[in-house]
Amino acid sequence: MALPKYKTSRANTHSRRANWKASAAQTVTCPNCGAPALPHMACPSCGSFRGRIYREAIHSTHAK
Ligand SMILES: [Zn+2]
């Protein structure tokens, strides 16, 4: 197995890790209620997915 010849400097490590950023989750618009929802998941606002209501909606303080 290949081995690195030199120790990676702290500056190189930090500059590489400085580009690691969290990205916002991608959402789709619910066709039933229009709220943003995760794709391939039941809507957290109304609980519908592919034209069916799968469960009671999770009512959070964030929902409008
Ligand atoms: Zn919905």
Is 10 a member of any domain? no
Q: How far is the CA of 56 from the centre of ligand 1 (A)?
A: 11
Is 2 a member of any domain? no
User: Does the pLDDT value for residue 18 go beyond 90?
Assistant: yes
| Domain membership of residue 53 as a residue range | 27-64
As a whole number of Å, the end-to-end CA separation of the chain is 55
Task: Please state the domain count of the chain.
Answer: 1
Is 17 a member of any domain? no
pTM metric for this prediction? 0.48
Q: For residue 8, how far is the Cα from the chain centroid?
A: 31
User: Does the pLDDT value for residue 24 go beyond 70?
Assistant: yes
Q: How far is the CA of 31 from the centre of ligand 1 (A)?
A: 7
Of the candidates 20, 19, 42, 21, the one whose C-alpha atom is nearest the C-alpha of residue 31 is 42
20: CB partners within 8 A, 6+ apart: none
Confidence of residue 12 (pLDDT cuts 50, 70, 90): very high
Least confident window among 23-27, 36-40, 49-53? 49-53
Q: How far is the CA of 23 from the centre of ligand 1 (A)?
A: 23
User: Does the pLDDT value for residue 16 go beyond 90?
Assistant: yes
User: SS3 of 6, please?
Assistant: coil
Helical spans, DSSP H, in 1-64 = 10-17
